[in-house]
Amino acid sequence: MKNEEKKPTAAELPAGGIVEAGTAAQFKTGPWRSIKPVWSKEKCKACMICWIYCPDASIQVADGKVIGIDYDHCKGCGICSKECKFGAITMEAEKK
């Protein structure tokens, strides 16, 4: 008969690793960028779509409105610029 080896129960399995939440904030990933988002206060309609889509929580917000970009953590993926329907975020080359 196959599979006669006793399999461990869930209680017998070793504990898995637990990664503390929020650790991404400890690492400044901004230097990874080759292009950066530039936000226009004048064009912004405060729809918050960019804030919803940003995978790095790098859209800075105060009082329910965008106030800028967190360049310490923004990786320059360009999603915010692509999703903004008002042309308020443009991507520009980083000056290195």
Angle at 32 (CA atoms; ends 45, 49), nearest 5 degrees: 20
Sole residue written with tokens 């953590």:
73
Please say which residue, 1 or 90, places its beta carbon nearer to ligand SF4: 90
DSSP for 8-61, written as a single string: PPGGGSPPPP-PPTTGGGGS--GGG-SEEEEE-TTT-----HHHHH-TT--EEE
* Residues 30 to 59 in contact with ligand SF4, rule: CB under 6 A: 37, 39, 44-50, 54, 56, 58-59
Q: What's the min distance (Å) between Cβ of 27 and ligand SF4?
A: 13
Tell the smallest beta-carbon distance from residue 30 to ligand SF4 (Å). Answer: 9
Cβ atoms of 86 and 47 closer than 8 Å = yes
Size of the site for ligand SF4 (CB under 6 A): 26
The residue within the footprint of ligand SF4, chosen from 67, 89, 90, 95 (CB under 6 A), is: 89
Q: Point out which residues bind ligand SF4 (CB under 6 A).
A: 37, 39, 44-50, 54, 56, 58-59, 66, 69, 74-80, 84, 86, 88-89
